[in-house]
Amino acid sequence: MERARAAGVVGFVVVGLAGPPADAAAPSGAEAAMVPARFVVDLARRAAGRVAACVGLHPHDARIWTERLHEELRRLATEPEVAAVGEIGLDYHYDHSPRETQREVFARLVGLAREVRKPLVVHTRSAPEDTLAVLERERARDVGGIIHCFSEDRAFASRALDLGFDLSMSGIVTFKSAPAVRDVAAWAPLDRLLVETDSPYLAPVPVRGHTCEPAHVVHTARRVAELRGIPLEELAAATLANTERRFAKAFPRPT
């Protein structure tokens, strides 16, 4: 966080996910699964400056979902430090949980976000149609949110924007292999774009291959500004305003 602040980052939205036991010897059950999510909410509570949490269950781990875990997540999501529910969604690339389970859990967690009236942070990989279908069917528009680590194309982007979702650009936008993502970064309305790191993953060029950390978001922002032909300062002011608006529940404008 210190290195990020030195690089010009003024706030943090940290993802806290419920998760399976680290190994066979570790305790299991809903209480144990909630430990990492609670850790992040605690961090947001204690940290100086503007630090918010979001809590969710990653689609990789949808298989550990239980009614009990759902209830624990719902309770935690009502905490004032929690800005959003996520990341949740669908990942058909790794298929770590059965797809049907992923869809069911995703739907339930969209319902949870609507219940606690907080926006969604959506993870979607190799599942564009099903992701949009769940968001539409479960009336995600009521709370809106962001598509995190945006990796789709303009057609997906315009449907997501119509559903009330902003687009969050990660290091992917700097990768040679992602022309469709660059196209979206240049085309999307400036008031619907965010930037993020996905730390410790997806370090942007020129630090690709290193462990990603919050300070690196500056490289991603610079690339998006270049693509749009605007100064970095203008892009940064817009993404900060968009982040404040989107995560307003726990990440208010400084007074």
| Pick 72 or 87: Cβ nearer Zn ion | 87
Between residues 121 and 235, which has the closer beta carbon with respect to Zn ion? 121
Sign of CA dihedral 248, 43, 113, 4: positive
- What's the start-to-end Cα distance of the chain, in Å? 22
Shortest Å, Cβ 55 to Zn ion: 14
Q: Which two tokens stand for residue 118?
A: 């907080």
CA distance 201 to 210: 9
How near is the Cβ of 244 to Zn ion at its closest, in Å? Answer: 22
- Residues belonging to the chain: 255
Q: Looking at the chain, list the stretches that DSSP marks H as alpha helix, in order from N- to C-terminal side.
A: 2-6, 30-33, 35-46, 67-77, 99-116, 128-137, 154-162, 179-187, 217-228, 232-246
Query: Least Å distance between CB 195 and Zn ion?
Result: 15
Q: Which two tokens stand for residue 40?
A: 């992040």
Query: What is the smallest separation between the CB atom of 124 and Zn ion, expressed in angstroms?
Result: 8
* Shortest Å distance, C-beta 27 to Zn ion: 26
> 12: closest CA among 46, 41, 49, 57?
49
Give CA–CA dist 33/18, Å, rounded.
5
Centroid of chain to Cα 166: 11
The distance of closest approach from Cβ of residue 147 to Zn ion in the complex, given in angstroms and rounded to an integer, is: 10
Please identify, using beta-carbon distances, which residue of 118 and 123 lies nearer to Zn ion. 123
Nearer to Zn ion, 58 or 219 (CB): 58
Of 81 and 87, which CB lies nearer to Zn ion in the complex structure?
A: 87
Q: CB nearer to Zn ion: give 108 or 123.
A: 123
Residue nearest to Zn ion (CB): 123
Q: Which residues bind Zn ion (CB under 5 A)?
A: 87, 123
